[in-house]
């Protein structure tokens, strides 16, 4: 796989600051040269700021439970490149990837010689995923956007249904500086007459609903057309009632932690109901309930090790950090929290740390192995400023709620190597404490490889 990966990684990564022109022109031109293989596939297209991967995982598992061969395309990967494209849980193998790279090479080279120029790495990977799923003749593809939606490489498809999980501030240098602007980019996946399911709210929902109306699409909204009511939760999972579009299920259980996962699972269930209403599939209640319970997604409050309990969570924007903090507040039962934090240079903002800071007893700042990593000293200075200015930070909130207080004896350390930071955290933690690794997907990917080598497979909740 190395030679194929070297070729893939030789293409530039679009980060909003390069000279690469965003758009679908290159993708459409190469696909046309390949015979438009995507036209033979049926897609469920999923966009959103957070929860895309988990929602895709729920959908893929449920569609598989309905008897389909399901292609799943997600990004970025947590463990290895082949994680990004799989069929019924089996990842693409080395020989197939090499074959597909050789197939697409001459067409990419031809486009490189035109004014359109070379594609991005993500465009190349997306082309390979389309070729993979078309070659294998899958019945359905769960198709996650990479960034935004309107100009994302995945947006060359015409799906059966479009899904927008939620919208919050992230990637603002590319997608826009307001929630409305970002919502408009994500709503770009909405196609004429194609139904839409979303859990967006507020101004983002307004933008999405306007787009759906403009495109004459039926739209199904969490909180209005369907909703979940959680009944129980603990470290082993959670249980909720699903009040759906056509049915009510009182006994839905999932293994993934955090109330936001109940919402993600409900969005996936609503998608299944819409597909059933379109005559595409028939719902087997027991099969779907079992599929939801079996669904896992790495790096989303993922449990590794039991004594101490180690959590990996890839929250890397304020919206995700708040969801993480809410989950920790309800699950921690007097347990001390030791945090391993490694973030990227463009994420050194109070909103990424402050939501969970009051819960931490120790914080070990580390640096993931990427040129985009933030300097540990810079992150440490931000944490110290937050602790020093805690009273003033919460004066406005105090008018409406109890003031958040940070522990006076919080321990702050720097361990630049992620593996060393994880080991150090485990030595600080007692048998009943909790170690959290968070801050970026790069950090948890690195930590996950190391921790699984030390402790084995993730902890099962069932």
pLDDT digits (tens, 9 = 90+) for 182-196: 999 999 999 999 999
Per-residue pLDDT tens over the stretch 374-404: 999 999 999 999 998 865 444 444 344 344 4
Say what the pLDDT of residue 394 is: 41
Secondary element (H or E) of residue 337: strand 337-341
229 within 8 A of 243, measured Cβ to Cβ: yes
Of 202, 196, 184, 110, the closest CA to residue 148 belongs to 184
Determine the Cα–Cα distance for residues 266 and 438; give it in Å rounded to an integer.
25
Q: Within 177-295, where are the H helices?
A: 179-186, 202-214, 259-277, 285-294
- 368's tokens: 């993931």
- pTM listed for this prediction: 0.92
- 449's tokens: 């490889």
- E strands along 25-117, which residues? 43-47, 70-73, 85-87, 90-91
> Which residues of the chain does CATH 3.40.1190.10 include?
2-294
- 77's tokens: 């990967």
User: 302-455: which CATH number, 3.20.20.70, 3.90.190.20, 3.40.50.720, 3.90.480.20?
Assistant: 3.90.190.20
Whether residue 173 is predicted with pLDDT greater than 50 in this model: the reply is yes
Whether residue 456 is predicted with pLDDT greater than 80 in this model: the reply is no
Question: Would residue 295 be called left, alpha or beta, if left means φ above 0 and alpha means ψ between -120 and 50 degrees?
Answer: beta
Determine the Cα–Cα distance for residues 322 and 50; give it in Å rounded to an integer.
12
Per-residue pLDDT tens over the stretch 215-234: 999 999 999 999 999 999 99
> Which residues of the chain does CATH 3.90.190.20 include?
302-455
413 within 8 A of 364, measured Cβ to Cβ: yes
Determine the Cα–Cα distance for residues 441 and 6; give it in Å rounded to an integer.
21
Determine the Cα–Cα distance for residues 444 and 304; give it in Å rounded to an integer.
12
267 within 8 A of 52, measured Cβ to Cβ: no
Instruction: Assess if CATH 3.40.1190.10 describes domain 2-294.
Output: yes
Say what the pLDDT of residue 424 is: 97
Percent of all residues in the chain with a pLDDT value above 90, rounded to a whole number: 81
């Amino acid at each position: 796989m190395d030679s194929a990966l070297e070729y893939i990684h030789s293409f530039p990564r679009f980060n909003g600051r390069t000279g690469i022109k965003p758009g679908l022109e290159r993708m459409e031109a190469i696909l046309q040269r390949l015979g438009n293989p995507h036209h033979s596939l049926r897609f469920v297209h999923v966009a959103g700021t957070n929860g895309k991967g988990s929602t895709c995982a729920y959908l893929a598992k449920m569609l598989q439970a309905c008897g389909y061969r399901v292609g799943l395309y997600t990004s970025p990967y947590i463990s290895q490149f082949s994680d990004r494209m799989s069929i019924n849980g089996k990842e693409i193998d080395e020989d197939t990837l090499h074959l597909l790279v050789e197939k697409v090479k001459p067409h990419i080279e031809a486009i490189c010689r035109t004014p359109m120029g070379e594609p991005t790495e993500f465009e190349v990977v997306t082309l390979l995923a389309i070729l993979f799923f078309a070659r294998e003749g899958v019945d359905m593809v769960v198709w996650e956007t990479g960034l935004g939606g309107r100009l994302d490489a995945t947006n060359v498809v015409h799906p059966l249904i479009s899904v927008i999980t939620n919208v919050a501030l992230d990637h603002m240098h590319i997608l826009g500086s307001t929630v409305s602007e970002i919502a408009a980019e994500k709503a770009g996946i909405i196609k004429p007459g194609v139904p839409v399911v979303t859990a967006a709210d507020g101004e983002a929902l307004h933008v999405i609903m306007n787009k759906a109306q403009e495109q004459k699409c039926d739209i199904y909204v969490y909180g209005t057309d369907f909703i979940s009511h959680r009944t129980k939760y603990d470290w082993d999972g959670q249980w909720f009632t699903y009040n759906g579009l056509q049915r009510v299920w009182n006994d839905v259980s999932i293994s993934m932690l955090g109330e936001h996962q109940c919402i993600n699972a409900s969005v996936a269930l609503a998608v299944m109901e819409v597909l059933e209403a379109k005559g595409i599939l028939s719902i087997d209640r027991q099969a779907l309930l079992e599929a939801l319970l079996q669904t896992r997604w790495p790096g989303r409050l993922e449990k590794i090790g039991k004594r101490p309990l180690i959590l990996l969570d890839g929250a890397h924007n304020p919206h995700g950090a708040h969801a993480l903090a809410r989950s920790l507040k309800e699950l921690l039962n007097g347990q001390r929290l030791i945090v391993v934090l490694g973030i990227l240079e463009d994420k050194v903002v109070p909103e990424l740390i402050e939501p969970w800071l009051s819960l931490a007893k120790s914080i070990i700042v580390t640096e993931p192995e990427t040129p985009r990593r933030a300097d540990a000293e810079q992150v440490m200075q931000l944490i110290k400023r937050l602790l020093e200015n805690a009273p003033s930070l919460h004066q406005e909130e105090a008018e409406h709620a109890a003031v958040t207080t940070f522990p006076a004896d919080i321990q702050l350390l720097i361990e630049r190597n992620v593996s060393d930071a994880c080991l150090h955290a485990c030595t600080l933690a007692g048998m009943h404490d909790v170690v959290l690794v968070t801050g970026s997907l790069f950090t948890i990917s690195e930590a996950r490889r190391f921790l699984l080598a030390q402790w084995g497979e993730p902890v099962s909740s069932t």
